[in-house]
Structure 1
Amino acid sequence: MLNFIASPVYLACGATDMRKSIDGLAAMVQEQFGLNPFSLALFVFCNRRRDKLKILHWDHAGFWLYYRRLERGSFQWPAGGTALPIPYYTKHYPLCSNLDFGYSRY
């Protein structure tokens, strides 16, 4: 059963190439952000048009890769090339508190 209540969440700021899959995203977490992809954290990535998200998650047995595509609108997403923990993000982007990524209307 999936349970994310105690899992830290990091947002990969800026655009991510959505052609990347588990290995590419895990390498990005480790090399670009200096974080451990094998931790229990959730790593969230967004594409350039901000209408797609991928979430990378390790659960002690293997990786999960979740994918979300909006049919209309876009996510509000921070620029830059760092990984922000969610508490920082929700403090500075209040529309995104509680993982509500604040859809923009079309």
Structure 2
Amino acid sequence: MHALAAVLVARSASVIRIDAAWLATDPLDMRAGMDTALARVIAVFGSAQPHHAYVFANRRATRMKVLVHDGIGVWLAARRLHRGKFVWAAPSTTHWPLQTEQLQALVLGLPWQRVGAAGAITIV
């Protein structure tokens, strides 16, 4: 599954189109399969939109699952860090929109909040 997660994110343009990505702040049990993950997407986001990726982590933020609706079916990928933790959003809201660059940083375990427009310097 590690290779599939890398393909989903790093090469999404050539394999699976992802127009928007969303981060869920509440943890997901990593034993969850496709149907359980899809049910969580519907509960948190209202629906699974075509070409949207929905990202979940376990309670310790050492594993993540990405569910993508490609317009025809659903893809589910898993990723595990051997060291460290994924940088996750505080549960002040149920979900966050992610830019492409933020999603790429997130799956690598980097501080995604500092990437893209969210990391723009606006004052000296």
TM-score with structure 2 setting the length: 0.65
Q: For structure 1, list consecutive stretches of 5 or more residues without a partner in the other structure.
A: 91-95
Quote the sequence identity (%). Answer: 34
Q: For structure 2, list consecutive stretches of 5 or more residues without a partner in the other structure.
A: 1-13, 111-124
- More helix, by proportion: 2
Distance 2:103 2:41 in 1: 22
Q: How many residues align?
A: 95
Counterpart among 76, 79, 82 of residue 68 in structure 1: 79
Counterpart among 92, 98, 103 of residue 86 in structure 1: 98
Contact 2:54 2:66 in 1 (8 A): yes
Contact 1:14 1:78 in 2 (8 A): no
Taking a change above 3 Å as real, the CA distance of residues 64 and 75 of structure 1, as seen in their structure-2 partners, is: same
TM-score with structure 1 setting the length: 0.75
Distance 2:70 2:49 in 1: 8
Distance 2:103 2:94 in 1: 21
Amino acid across the alignment from 1:103: G
How do residues 50-61 of structure 1 correspond to structure 2 at under 5 angstroms?
50-61=61-72
Structure 1 residue 98, shift from structure 2 partner: 5.5
